[in-house]
Amino acid sequence: MTLLLVAPLVLIVGYIFYQALPILSLDFIFTNPKDGMRSGGIWSPLLGTCYLVLLSLAISTPIGVLAAVFLNEYAKDNWFTRMVNLAVVNLAGVPSIVHALFGLGAFVLFAGLGKSILAASLTLAIMTLPVIIASTKQALAAVPMAFREACWNVGATRWQTIRHVVLPNSINGILTGLILEVAHAAGETAPIMFTGAVFYKAIQEGDLFAYGPFDQCMALSMHLFTISTQVPGVPHALPFGTAIVLLGTVLMVNALSIIVRTRLRARKKW
């Protein structure tokens, strides 16, 4: 059974890795695409994706987590909260291309941010927000009521209860939701296509701060789309190499948050 579950993952990753093997090297990561994207590396799109994911998460995490805390811990059950909950569930099901058009209208044109990393990150943040709210709410709801009661009855305020009991006991679930959204944000092409990502842009190789918030950028997901469908004569291994780096980036973020998670757990004297 386990094999059945693991086999597709191993097959997919293994196949991509095998196809990408001839091109993989440190140079591939640290050089910009060259020759009309037919050779060279993926430095520019890789850095662009990192910027987009981190910035969008920096926007959506605090808003999403606080919204979930409000909905689960403070809000009374009335028509307003029911509307908000309904909106959250429905927004989670909106196709990403619709988010893209909303981002184009709201951030690029109306707010006047132009096509930029900031506008694209805001669009991604809007896209990930409902899922973050929903998953955080679920994690909070899983904390037994008895813990809250215990806390209230020694005179703790609602916020103290949340800070000392509810959040520490739901942080695993919250982080799991965030990880999923990292992968989601990194992989989406449509929302960034209209709002901040470009086909080609060369940046200073090896410079981590090569993009500014109002620059346009390349992104791995869009680069993968471009070189596999829009540019003729791309060497076979190039798209696979791009795919494996995209996968690796997401896996690295996941690994990082697992480390954070175990650290958090180890700090408690359970």
User: What is the contact surface with another protein in residues (CB under 8 A)?
Assistant: 76-77, 144, 146-158, 160, 164-165, 169, 268-270
Question: Helix, strand, or coil here: 203?
Answer: coil
Question: Cβ of residue 150: shortest distance to another protein, in angstroms?
Answer: 5
Question: Cβ of residue 170: shortest distance to another protein, in angstroms?
Answer: 12
Burial class of residue 169, CB neighbours in 10 A (0-12, 13-18, 19+): middle
C-beta of 165 vs 217, nearer to another protein: 165
User: DSSP E strands: which ranges in the chain?
Assistant: 33-34, 39-40
CA angle 124, 128, 132 (to 5 degrees): 155
C-beta of 105 vs 144, nearer to another protein: 144
* Residue positions counted in the chain: 270
| Amino acid present at 152 | W
C-beta of 159 vs 214, nearer to another protein: 159
C-beta of 92 vs 156, nearer to another protein: 156
Angle between helices 237-267 and 167-187 (to 10 degrees): 170
Indicate the Cα dihedral angle 148, 153, 158, 161, nearest 10°.
-50
As a 3-state breakdown, the chain gives helix, strand, coil percent values, each rounded to 5, of: 70, 0, 25
Question: Cβ of residue 161: shortest distance to another protein, in angstroms?
Answer: 9
Question: Cβ of residue 76: shortest distance to another protein, in angstroms?
Answer: 6
C-beta of 169 vs 228, nearer to another protein: 169
C-beta of 161 vs 189, nearer to another protein: 161
| Amino acid present at 201 | K
Question: Cβ of residue 77: shortest distance to another protein, in angstroms?
Answer: 7
The answer to whether 51 and 117 have CB atoms below 8 angstroms apart is yes
Question: Cβ of residue 78: shortest distance to another protein, in angstroms?
Answer: 9
The answer to whether 126 and 103 have CB atoms below 8 angstroms apart is yes
